[in-house]
Amino acid sequence: MKIGILGLGLIGGSLGYDLRSQGHHVLGVSRRESTCERAMALGSVDVASVDMNLLAAAEVVFICTPIALIVPQLQQLIYHLPATTVVTDVGSVKAPIVKDIVPLWKNFIGGHPMAGTSDSGIEAAQHNLFVGRPYVLTPDETTPQTAMAVVEEIVRSLGANLYYCQPEQHDQAVSWISHLPVMVSASLIAACMGESDPAVLQLAQNLASSGFRDTSRVGGGNSELGLMMAQYNRQSLLSALQGYRHNLDEFINLIEQEDWVNLKSKLKSTGQARPKFVE
């Protein structure tokens, strides 16, 4: 199959590696000429260009640009594609993208591979990035069965675990497990930096170890990504943050009241719940 990838970065480049290794012919388009050359040299794509017209020959196109560019790029891309081309995207937020693309392109299905690293760009692309990871598809009542079947088959072939849901359900779910943790973790770092005694702050920084490393990791990462989560998933993120604040208040109350029995039982129940999210 001829498969097009628009945006040869971490996700687009990684898709290219795996699709090529399964014998697909991969056509890549990216913004910079240097990225196109590098993607070809690394073997992530068969051929690459900065000219979108290259994708006219693709049967399926994956849009893998930063979130803010997915819809604008699709608006340009459609002038190059026959109506039969199936288009999907990999954006980390789904409702606003699906809402804008559905009226523009019939053969579209939204997608989100839940895989990645903190690095970006073609050099960060990896083989087998999607193996054993969730990959969410968000069809709606207008999505053609054929488009769904084609993308589903490709996703399964990546070794990913396929999930279907509505775009809004996806955005609410990722606000809990991905976007809220970024804000909580960033707040943790900001709160620690608010320590008013410089000697204590320095001591805390010297003593910080694995617990702090785990809990601060996602808040100390790519600020652009955090900003995009807030901009594109604002409503869901706000409701998750309010749920979090409610829980934080409960902890404050229990500690203020020295209610150790209920504090213990709350901590016990969170300990029991954690394996439902991660092993």
Q: Is 181 helix (H, G, I), strand (E, B) or coil?
A: helix
Q: Among 36, 232, 52, 228, which Cα is nearest to 121's?
A: 36
| Strands 2-6, 60-63: pairing kind | parallel
Shortest distance, position 79 Cβ to ligand NAP, whole Å:
15
Q: Is 43 helix (H, G, I), strand (E, B) or coil?
A: coil
Q: Which residue has the tokens 């994708």?
A: 55
**Torsion, Cα of 133, 138, 139, 140 (10° steps):** 160
Shortest distance, position 201 Cβ to ligand NAP, whole Å:
31
> For residues 222-261, which are near ligand NAP according to CB under 6 A?
none
What is the token pair recorded at 119? Answer: 């690095």
> For residues 75-104, which are near ligand NAP according to CB under 6 A?
90-92
Q: How many residues touch ligand NAP (CB under 6 A)?
A: 26
Show the site string, 109-148: x = touches ligand NAP by CB under 6 A, - = not: ---xx--x---xxx--------------------------
Contacting ligand NAP (CB under 6 A), which of 69, 102, 188, 263? Answer: 69
Nearer Cβ to ligand NAP (53/265): 53
Q: Among 87, 60, 85, 63, which Cα is nearest to 11's?
A: 63
Asked if 185 is part of the footprint of ligand NAP (rule: CB under 6 A), the reply reads no
Asked if 217 is part of the footprint of ligand NAP (rule: CB under 6 A), the reply reads no
The C-alpha atoms of residue 272 and residue 276 are separated, in whole angstroms, by: 8
Contacting ligand NAP (CB under 6 A), which of 21, 22, 32, 149? Answer: 32
Contacting ligand NAP (CB under 6 A), which of 3, 8, 15, 95? Answer: 8
Stretch that binds ligand NAP, among 29-37, 101-109, 142-150, 200-208 (CB under 6 A): 29-37
Nearer Cβ to ligand NAP (155/254): 155
Asked if 64 is part of the footprint of ligand NAP (rule: CB under 6 A), the reply reads yes
Helix pair angle (198-207, 180-193), 10° resolution: 130
What are all long-range contacts of 186-193, with beta carbons under 8 Å and residues at least 24 apart? 186/219, 186/220, 186/226, 187/219, 188/215, 188/216, 188/219, 189/216, 189/219, 189/220
Contacting ligand NAP (CB under 6 A), which of 19, 35, 80, 237? Answer: 35
**Residues near ligand NAP, by CB under 6 A:** 6-12, 30-32, 35, 64-67, 69, 73, 90-92, 112-113, 116, 120-122
